[in-house]
Structures are given as C-alpha cells and as structure tokens.
Structure 1
Amino acid sequence: MGLYLFQRFILLLATLAFASIVVFGVLEILPGNAAQVMLGASATPETVAALAHKLGLDQGVIVRYAAWIGGVLRGDFGLSYAYDSPIGPLIAERLAVSAPLALLAMLITTAVALAAGVFAAQRRGKSGDVAVMAASQIGLAVPNFWFAILLVLVFAVHWRLAPSGGFPGWEAGLGRALGALILPALALGLVQAAVLTRVTRSALLDVLNEDFIRTARAKGLSRRATLWRHALPNALTPILTIMGLQFANLIAGAIVVEYVFTLPGLGRLVFQSIANRDLLVVEDCVMLLVAIVIGVNFFVDIACAAIDPRLRRRAA
C-alpha cells in the first residue's frame, strides 16, 4: 500500500505541475488586453502602457508564470484587477456557496442512484428494472438548466415551497441558506443520479454473476443479504470512480445552474472574470478547480485500492 500511495502522490504532483502550465499558457494566448479593457476604448496608448506596467503585464511569460505559481504556493493569489481586492478572500466567499451546493447535490445523487441502481439490479428484466432504466435515460437527456427552470416554476412559482433564486448568506441562518440551495442541488443531483444509477446497476449485475455470490446463496444466505453484504461492497470500485468524477464536475460545472438561481458561486466568478479580462482571477479559479478534480481523483484511487487489494498488487 505504501508503494501505491507514493506512486499516486508523485503522479498527483506531476499532474498539478503540468496543469498549471496548460492553464497559464491557454489564458495567455487569449486575445485582448486587460489594461485596455479596464481603461476603456478611449484610453490613450500611453495610459494603457502605464497601467500594463503597473500590473506587470509587460513582463516576460516565464517571469509572470513564476510569479503567479510562486504566489499560489505561498497562499498569495494576487489582486483582482476588476474587483480591486485580494483574490483569496474573493474565491473563499464564492467557494462557500459552490462547495456546500456540490456536497448537497452529491448527497442527493448518491442516495437516489444507489437506491435506484440496487432496486433495478434486484429486478433485472422485470418492470421495475425497465422503469428505472427509462427514468435514467430521460435524466441523461434532460439539460441541467431546463430542469432547473422547471423546478423554479413548480416549487417556487406555483407551490411557493422554496425561493426562486438568490442566496441570503450563511449568516442568515442554516435553514435559510440550505433552503436557497435545495432547488439548485436537486437540479444538479437528480441529473447526475441518472448516470450513477446505470453504473451502479451494471456493476452489481457483473458481481452477481460471480462464483462467490452463487456460493453465498448456496450456503443459505438470503438474496437481500447477499446483495448488501457481498455484491455491493465488491461493486464499489467503479461506483466510487464515477462518484469522484461527478463531485468534481458538480463544483466545476455548476455555472449554468448558478446563473438560473442567481447564486454567487465560483462558476459565476469565473464567467464574470473572463468577461472583465481579469485573467489572474481566472487563472486562480481554474487552477483551484483543476486541483479539486485531481485531488478528488487521488482520494478515490486510494479508496478503491483500500477496497480492492488487486489494485495495490498491480503497483508492486
């Protein structure tokens, strides 16, 4: 296990280093000038050049990359051009909305998908299985933003059970804050559950055909006990892998749902910063999202190795 952990950690560091170069390089080739955007089209070339010098935009690419990545490693994310404030607190404020939203959506996804996947696997080929697969197929086809608008119309406009948008802040109380996140979490979580349901069902059906399952049944263990005690634990590797990818996607890909519900999340910050040509904010936010994705996959790999010893033996 120690060798496996070391190999995965080295791969984690190498991936983060490569990702930082890609993020910086891609944003560097984008057209436009941040100083020109901030001063407007009527600014003189001298004024634009002076502001570019103040912001360090006239320095070499390698110098700017070294300054950026060095600041990130020290915890200094720099200063936002558009907001004229430190980027670290700005990201933390938006992450305080996006992270709980992703966690709540992931809880919904996991609860719905595991229950529906196990239900379908138990009734393979029967009407219950067909109904679950049909519902999951519809979920795969429904866009997040359309489902979000439908939830607003039904639960906020028609039934008035939840707010239609906005976020009161955590200082307004846990109940009000979670109430503002429940519809966005449903819009994200139920659509993601369609994918995880199909993966859960497929993984369980593969395990249910194994010899040790037939042995457990031959020893007199009930079908339900065999499913929960033997089949599901052995089917967790592909399920955990997909869950890790989905959680990272819920944080990084919630921008459309955040706009529908006017949530001040990380996705909206990235979108606004791109429009304002506030590249340092974009670089920090994208690098943070990349680090979250890579970090989540790292912990998923460790969890899968802890569950399945065969993964550890392959690293030896």
Structure 2
Amino acid sequence: MLRLFGRRLIRLVPVLFLVTLGTFFLIALVPGDPAVSILGPDATPEAIANLRTELGLDEPLVARYWDWLSSAFQGDLGNSLLQPTDSVVDLIRASLPITLQLAAMGLLMALFIAVPLAIWSAYRADSHVDRASSFLTAALISVPTFLAALLLAYFFVFQPDVVRWATLLLGFSIAGAMVVGAAKRWGDDTNRAVLVRLGGAAAVVGATLAVFAFFPEFPRTGFSRITAEEGLGENLRSAFLPAFALALTEIAVFTRLLRGDMISTLQEDYILAARAKGMPVWRVLWSDALRPSSFSLVTLAGVSLGRLIGGTVIVETIFAIPGMGRLVVNQGVVLGDFTVVQGGVLVIAVFYVLINLVVDVSYLYLDPRIRRA
C-alpha cells in the first residue's frame, strides 16, 4: 500500500507543475501593467520603470517563472504588491484555515444529511418519503449557491422569528402525520397503537420545541476564529450559515447519487441472501449495502471538497468572511496583485490533488479486490 501511495504521489508532481505554469503565463497575458496598477495612472515613466525593475517585470517571462518556482519550492511565495506588502505566505496562513473550515463543515453537513436520506429513500423506493426526497433534491439543485446564501441570511438573520414559528408548525405537522401513519399500520393492536402515537408525537413535538426554544441568532457578517476570546461556540455560530449554504447543493447531489447506487446494490444476490437469513435491516443497509455503494459518493465527495476550497468566494463575499476566495479574487484578481493569485492558486491546487490522492487510497479500504490487485 505504501508503494502504491508513493507512486500516485509522484504522479501529482506534473499536475502541480502544469497548474503553476498555466497560472503564471495566463496572468502574464492579462492586459495591463502591474506597475501602473500599483502606482496609479498619474505616475511618472521613471517611477514606473523603477518599480518594474524592482519587481523583476523587465526580465524575460521564463526567467521570472523560474525564479518564482524556485522560491516556491523553498516556501517563499513572494510579497503582496499592495501596501503594506505583506508576505503571501502570511496572507494565505491567515485565510486558508477559514476556507478549510467552511468547506469541511459544508461537506460534513451534506454527508450527515444525504447519507441517511439516500439510504431510506432507496430502502423505501417509490414511497412518500422517496418522492418527497426526490422533489426536495431537485429543488435544491436548481437553487444557486449565492441565492441560497442570501435566503439563509434573510430568514435566519433578519427574520429569525418567522423561522422559529415555521419550524414549530412543521414539527406539529410531522407529529400529526406520524399519528395517522401509526393508526393505519397498528390499528388492530390498540395498546401498541396508542403507545406509538403518543411516543412519536411527543418525540417530534419535543424536538421541535427544543429547536424553537434554543434556536441561535446568527451574525450577518464576519467570522470569529477558534483562537478568539469567544471560543469554539462563537466560531461555529459564525460559520454555520456560510457552511450550510455551501452544503445545500451537495446534499441534493449526494442524495440522488447514493440513492441510485443503493437501489442497484439492494438487488444483488448477497443482499437478498442476507435478508433471507434474517439479518437486521440496519445491518443490511448500513454495512452490507452502503459500503459497495459508496464508491461514487467518495469520489464525488473528494471532488466536491476540493471544489469548495477553491469556490467559496461567493459565500465569503456575502457573509464578509476573510477566506481564500476573497483573498484571491478581491485582492488578487480585482486589484491586480498577481503574486497573491499565483500563491493562492498553487495552495488550492496542492489541496485539490492531495484530496484526490486520499480518495484513490480510500478505494483500497472500500474494496478488498483493489488491495489484492
């Protein structure tokens, strides 16, 4: 396994080289002069020439790329071109943990919701739950991330009472539906039916009232770091809405993908044999069927995590979060700070390829046939 891990790790080096090469030369092709962008249009030709010499912009493009790549291998990504000309490594060190937390929280939320929902939908295919799940996932896929972020900010920040009352009403509706369902299924057993009705209704209403009573107030903008005085609680409170906005689309995609794979797996002979032997349903679904059905999900989750790390700029802009997205786009692209763009893209690419490497290695655990091969 270590030999396979090493071989695949070596294969990632050319990918990173091509990413740095493409980023550097594409930035060089962008119209405009960075020296003019820094000094302004009123700068004298002498000042522009001196700054170009200081930044090395008057050197050949290949020489500039080689100097930057050599420094990057030593951990030096240069300095920002904008005042106060901070180190790019320091800027990334301050922004990257925020983006990683948002992406990881969004992915975990998506998996936490999508996996049980997909398993139950596959087990009860064409039932009311399955149809409601299909409708919900189709609706979530059609909602862009920026719109989801704006809606979450509007309802959970500016209209929290509306959400509380809607949650309370939904809880009572679900409790009523559970009572009706229990009456239809166990109507011939009076004692059992009464217990199921009361227990189900009490559980749902109690959980809804707890959500209604303890629903937190989320901040509109800003981000509280874990190392801040407020601690982990304030950090999670400030990160929840942005992460949930990122998770909504992933929930829909993960659910639909895993549901289709689970339906196919549940028709396999070994699954039918396990059910014929009287194995518990939870064991058949969560152990025997989920593991071989999760190949596509693991692949998509790895790709989604890499994409979320590099694509949080919209959510970070809406919630005013100083993450990697805002750093690369707002400071790097908009203000013309090309050293920030080069360093940011390199770091994001490194994480992306490492995540894909972890996905490849995870196949060895999921399928023993790959290990033997």
Return the letter of the residue paired with 1:284. Answer: G
Give the gaps of 5 or more residues in structure 1.
Answer: none
2:234 aligns with: 176
Partners of 2:347 and 2:109 in 1: CA distance: 24
Percent identity reads: 33
CA contact (8 A) 1:167 1:263 kept: yes
- One-letter amino acid of the structure 1 residue matched with residue 263 of structure 2: L
Matched-pair contact (CA < 8 Å) for 1:5–1:302: yes
C-alpha displacement of 1:268: 0.5
2:279 match: secondary structure: coil
After TM superposition, give the deviation of residue 3 of structure 1 in Å: 4.8
More deviation in 3-12 or 158-167? 3-12
The residue type equivalent to 1:254 in the other structure is T
- Taking structure 1 as the reference length, the TM-score comes to 0.95
How far apart are 1:305 and its partner, in Å?
Answer: 2.3
TM-score of the pair, normalised by structure 2: 0.81
Partner of 1:121: 122
Taking the aligned partners of 1:183 and 1:163, their CA distance within structure 2 comes to 9
Structure 2 residue ranges without an equivalent (≥5): 162-216
| Aligned position for 1:82 | 82
Question: Matches of 1:97 and 1:82 in 2, distance apart?
Answer: 22
1:259-305 residue CA offsets vs partner (Å, 9 max, x unmatched): 11011111001112111111011011011111111110111110112
Q: Give, in whole Å, the separation in 2 of the partners of 1:7 and 1:127.
A: 48
Runs of 4+ in 1 over 4 A off after TM superposition: none
CA distance in 2, matches of 1:50, 1:188: 45
Instruction: Indicate conservation of the 8 Å contact 1:258/1:264, yes or no.
Output: yes
Deviates more, 1:282-291 or 1:156-165: 156-165
Query: Given the alignment, which residue of 238, 242, 246 partners 2:300?
Result: 242
Q: Aligned-residue CA RMSD in angstroms?
A: 1.5
Contact 1:203 1:239 in 2 (8 A): no
Name the structure 1 match of 2:113.
Answer: 112
1:7 aligns with 2:7: yes
Q: Distance in 1 between matches of 2:292 and 2:57?
A: 54
- Counterpart of 1:51? 51
1:2 is displaced (CA, Å) by 4.6
User: Deviation of residue 5 (structure 1)?
Assistant: 2.4
**1:80 match: secondary structure:** coil
> 2:24 maps to which residue?
24
Structure 1 residue 165 corresponds to structure 2 residue 165: no
Q: For residue 197 of structure 2, what is the aligned residue in structure 1?
A: none
Match of 2:165 in 1: none
3-state SS of 1:280 partner = helix
Deviation larger for 29-38 or 170-179: 170-179
> How far apart are the structure 2 equivalents of 1:155 and 1:97?
21
Aligned to 1:93: 94
